[in-house]
Structure 1
Amino acid sequence: MKQREVQDANNMRWTCVEALSGVGDASDASAEAAADKLENGDGTVPVACTPSGGASSLRIRMPRGWEESASDEELLAAIAAAEHS
């Protein structure tokens, strides 16, 4: 499972990884099969982003393949939107 790390304007580092809760035994499933189970009708998957320093994680939705295709700015915008919702 791939993860991404981004840093916001306040120097908070966020580690984001696809959230695999609710798919059964994810250790036996391939990442692709897990994404199939979690994909929303709009082609997005849940992503958990955890800030450095122990604050609470946030859940965001990103397009499938976000690990490689989303820019840092897109990830940070989704995090910021989740923080303010």
Structure 2
Amino acid sequence: MPREVTDSAGITWSCIQAFSGLGKDAEKTEAARVDDSSNRFHVVCTPNGGAKSVRVELPGNWEKGLSDEALLRAIHEQLAQES
């Protein structure tokens, strides 16, 4: 299930763990896991309005345990690195 957050510019980001749409088996979970990390996963965040999606690395509890501010900070930091 995607998690949505809205930044100060009014952009709503829809974030979902990479490969989550492929099923819940262990192989798919492992595919999303960040190399050399036991508790970090690749998450894809897509903005409304057609701007570029970003892939961020977040802790395993990101869906419920990460604040909106921390999620937005990760998104914007990744955007800054890519530009």
TM-score past 0.5 threshold? yes
Equivalences for residues 1-85 of structure 1 within 5 A: 2-20=1-19, 26=22, 29-30=23-24, 33=26, 34-40=28-34, 41-42=36-37, 43-85=39-81
| TM-score normalised by structure 2 residue count | 0.82
Extract unaligned runs of 5+ from structure 2.
none
What is the number of equivalent residue pairs in this alignment? 78
1:39 Cα deviation from its structure 2 partner: 1.4
Per-residue CA deviations over 1:28-68 (Å, capped at 9, x if unaligned) read x31x6222332122221100000000111111010112111
8 Å CA contact retained: 2:17, 2:32: no
Which segments of structure 1 move beyond 6 Å, counting only runs of 4 or more? none
SS of aligned partner of 2:50: coil
Extract unaligned runs of 5+ from structure 1.
none
Q: Distance in 1 between matches of 2:3 and 2:16?
A: 7
| TM-score normalised by structure 1 residue count | 0.81
SS of aligned partner of 1:10: coil
RMSD of aligned Cα (Å): 1.9
